[in-house]
Amino acid sequence: MKLGHFKREFHLPEKLNVLLLKHPGIFYVTNKYQIYTVLLREGYNGPELVEKDPLVVVKDKFGELMQEGLHEYNRRHHMLNLEKRRKKGITAMKQEKNDPVHELCDEDDDDVGGIFDPEERKRFYKILFEDKAP
- pLDDT tens-digit profile of 63-113? 888 888 888 888 888 888 888 888 887 654 555 445 554 444 444 444 555
Could you tell me what percentage of the chain is helix, strand and coil, using 3-state DSSP and rounding each to the nearest 5? Answer: 50, 15, 40
Q: How many domains, in total, are found in the chain?
A: 2
Angstrom CA distances, 80 to 100, 102, 117, stand at: 14, 11, 18
Q: Are residues 8 and 65 in the same domain?
A: no
Q: Are residues 68 and 122 in the same domain?
A: yes
Q: Are residues 31 and 57 in the same domain?
A: no
Q: Is residue 47 part of a domain?
A: no
pLDDT digits (tens, 9 = 90+) for 29-76: 777 787 777 777 677 777 777 777 778 788 888 888 888 888 888 888
Q: Is residue 67 part of a domain?
A: yes
Residue ranges making up the domain that contains 17: 3-41
- Whole-structure pTM value: 0.36
Q: Is residue 91 part of a domain?
A: yes
Q: Are residues 124 and 73 in the same domain?
A: yes
